[in-house]
Amino acid sequence: MGGQDGYQSNLLSNDTQSDSTVLGFRVHLTEKAEIAMDLAYTNSKQGFVPFDMHAPSYEETHASMSFDFSQSHLYSKMDVNSFDVSAKLNYKLTDNSWLNFFYRLADYDDTVAFFQDSSGTYQVLGGFMGWNF
């Protein structure tokens, strides 16, 4: 692609890869009790393919616009991993009431943080009682 003042550039291209694995199961231990577990893992990477914005004649005539673009493709790079696991135990008290206990762990790793690192781990442990009426 060409432009005025001898400016020339290649079209930008983006390289993206994202892989996810999800696994879950549920087991009935007895007529009244069951356990369940869910696992999820995701790895995502994204970034611009290196590009060249070389235009020596433009830089010579527009000194205020001189900039080294050789590292520009790194400014929007992304590399994240996430892992999420949850476990549940359900117990039927009567035909219309039950207990549920659960645990969840979520871990997120932001390998390339530009403005703020959003990496962290989240854990929840809880339970509740329910009934139909």
* Structure confidence by residue, pLDDT tens digits, 41-84: 999 988 877 766 555 565 555 666 666 666 766 777 788 899 99
Question: Given this model, what pLDDT does residue 85 score?
Answer: 97
DSSP 3-state assignment of 34? strand
49 close to 72: Cβ distance less than 8 angstroms: no
Higher pLDDT, 111 or 83: 83
Measured between alpha carbons, how far is 101 from 87 in angstroms, rounded to an integer?
Answer: 8
Check residues 12 and 79 and name the one with the higher pLDDT. 79
Q: Which residue has the tokens 């989240």?
A: 122
Report the largest interatomic distance among the alpha carbons of the chain, rounded to a whole angstrom: 84
Kindly report the pTM of this predicted structure: 0.65
Average pLDDT, the chain: 82
Helical ranges in 17-76 per DSSP H: 56-61
31 compared with 47, residue with greater pLDDT: 31
Q: Which residue(s) pair with 21 in the sheet?
A: 41
